[in-house]
A and B are shown apart, each in its own frame.
Chain A
Amino acid sequence: MTGGHPGLRAARGALGSAIFWVGLLFAASLFLLPTLRPLFEWAFPGVEPAVYNRTTFLALWLSHAGLVLVSSLVSALVGIGFALFVTRGAGREFRAAVDSVAGIGQTFPPTTVLAVAVPIVGFGVTPTLIALMLYGLLPIVENAIAGFESVSASVLEAGAGMGLSPLQLFWRVELPLAAPLILTGIRTSVIVNIGTATIGSTVGAVTLGTPIISGLVGEKMPYVIQGTIVVGLFAILTDLVFDRLDQALRSRRNG
């Protein structure tokens, strides 16, 4: 066997993987940015303190990730639920209408959804969550509908004819076959939400956008750069993880 010890081979495989490197950089940015203080002091003289220290980047990231996670979970459940309703039985009549609403909704810029939520529920986490949930719903609904419709009718007929109960048919056949498209929808939703959440700082939510906005408002460029680095790496890392998940799903499907 080439490569020697299996642990070493695995390590080499990991080293080659983009996820590993980006993940490493991201973790470094979360914890080690303050060590770059001399660099920022040199590049931007006069900015005190040179590294954003109102809150740790770790805390910012946890809050940001928490917002995205909660809203994505809710959107996923509701979105898949809507798609389920609309792809069978009585709900089919609503399919065209749901399509229209989703299409129209996606033309709304995400920032406007956020902006409109504020007068209704106030500042802070609440409007951000609402905006994230509403906006995140749309790609999930569209993709889940496409996913369920991609399951061939003859597969479902064969399954029912063989004696799979409706629940078994859904869980063992329809959902696994629809999964890749559903995952694509969730992926789009999560990535857009990471972006929208950064803007949530303008309405008082604590996110990785906070140093960026604070830097823009107070003309402190280093903060903008620091926030950008962390949130950029976070977004890229998330996308890579989803990519890996997508590959794993597809290879399980096709062997």
Chain B
Amino acid sequence: MTEAVAANPARGNRVLLVLAGLGWLGMIGAGFVSLAPNRLMSGRPLSLWMVTDWPTLAGITVLGAALLAAAFRPQGKALHRATALIAALLLLLIFFAAGRAAEALSAAAGPVARISLGTAFWLTISCTSLAIVDSFQRLKAGPVLRIGTALAVCASVAVMAAGGVFDALSIMVEYRSHQTSFAHELARHGVLVLGSVGAGLAIGVPLGIKLTSSLRLRGPVFGTLNLLQTVPSVALFGLLIAPLSLLAAAVPALKAFGVEGIGATPALIALTCYALLPIVRYTYSAFSGVDPVVIEAGLGVGFTRGQILWRVSLPLATPVLLAGLRIVLIQSIGLAVVAALIGAGGLGTFVFQGIGQDAVDLVLLGTLPTIFLALATDFTLKSVTSILQQRMAP
């Protein structure tokens, strides 16, 4: 995460001004939720004040106005903390308002009606989140505060969900009708990601370490891996299907092990191939980036090569390794979505089914968890890295 920029702090916070301004404009000009008479027809956008009760509306207005006002005040630590708090509260209140609005509309419109989240909702959610991020950057907040806040916000939304606040929203309706398969596909997605990254680590880390000492291999290895990564994912998936299905046809016993043309196997193999390049590259970078002077000192002290690897190089290489792990996990989470096209399952199933049926909420059922997984992985690993770095350089 980059350093906060102190522009003229006495003059206010332009970033917050833009975010708050966008939030206000969006809330006034765009639909907060949209109401469709049934699953097939498109919805009519409804503004916030049309669908929210007075207390909630007042709360949102006051908090929103406070954020906008904070953008004009001279900046200071106290103001940044206050801004972060106000933005977090506003974020949760908007979630709450959306759920309640859906409840009220659904009571009036009947069970077939579909109430989905509108532009204003997404816009204000994004703006308030970014406002929190901006405040933390200006505060130079440590990982503990960031993690704490993220957990608090997520927990609050989870509590609301468990309490049924969002049940009337169309996406939750969709979830309920696909509940078992959602759990199944989510698990599949996890298997695809963790399996491919795991296999990638098993192959890639030793390879990366080997490359630090072997100049000869570097060119061909990186060349091949680069080539693999350039090829579009669907193409690579597709390319693996043919030989694997021929193989399965020739040796039926393999089918028992799950080796087929279509399905998880080609996806896993392809995902592992994609995982290899970042893993190898980051491992190589991490270990070759260790100062040779330190290694020499280790040798001088009497460590064996193995001990040096384990006790000296590895701890020093860890930040870069974690960065690589973060990138490869996020990449795999995204690529695993495409795997649904070849029958491997995963969250992509809902995405492509939704596209096929022209059902937005089904698409969202696949997309939102994927995005959330990616963001959570990114955030967690970044926090772990920064905690480790704090420990190493107090």
A132 at the interface (CB under 8 A from B): no
Give a binary string over A72-89; 1 marks a CB under 8 Å from any B CB, 0 the rest. Answer: 000000000000000000
Q: Does A221 lie within 8 Å of B234, measured CB to CB?
A: no
Among B3, B241, B360, which residue has its beta carbon within 8 angstroms of that of A221?
B241
Give a binary string over A97-108; 1 marks a CB under 8 Å from any B CB, 0 the rest. Answer: 101110110111
Q: How far is the CB of A168 from chain B (nearest CB, A)?
A: 27
- A182-237 with Cβ < 8 A to chain B: 191, 194-196, 198-199, 202-203, 209, 212-213, 215-216, 221, 224-225, 227-228, 231-232, 235-236
B335 at the interface (CB under 8 A from A): yes
The interface residues of chain B lying within 8 Å CB-to-CB of A224 are 238-239, 241-242
Q: Does B378 lie within 8 Å of A107, measured CB to CB?
A: yes
Q: Does A221 lie within 8 Å of B338, measured CB to CB?
A: no
Given contacts A101-B130, A112-B371, contact A232 B231 (CB under 8 A): yes
Q: Which residue of A lies closest to B231 (CB)?
A: A232
Q: Does B232 lie within 8 Å of A93, measured CB to CB?
A: no
Dominant secondary structure at the A interface: helix
A-B contact count (CB 8 A): 150
B370 at the interface (CB under 8 A from A): yes
Given contacts A93-B5, A191-B230, contact A115 B375 (CB under 8 A): no
Q: How far is the CB of A196 from chain B (nearest CB, A)?
A: 8
Given contacts A100-B130, A111-B348, contact A93 B137 (CB under 8 A): no
B384 at the interface (CB under 8 A from A): no
Complex Cα–Cα for A232 and B229 (A): 10
- A138-179 with Cβ < 8 A to chain B: none
Q: Can you list 17 contacts pairing A with B, beta carbon distance less than 8 Å?
A: A92-B5, A96-B137, A100-B133, A104-B375, A107-B377, A112-B337, A115-B355, A194-B232, A195-B235, A199-B341, A212-B234, A213-B234, A216-B262, A221-B242, A221-B245, A227-B235, A231-B232
Additional 10 contacts, C-beta under 8 A, given A97-B137, A109-B335, A224-B238: A95-B2, A97-B130, A97-B133, A103-B378, A111-B351, A112-B371, A115-B355, A196-B232, A228-B236, A231-B235
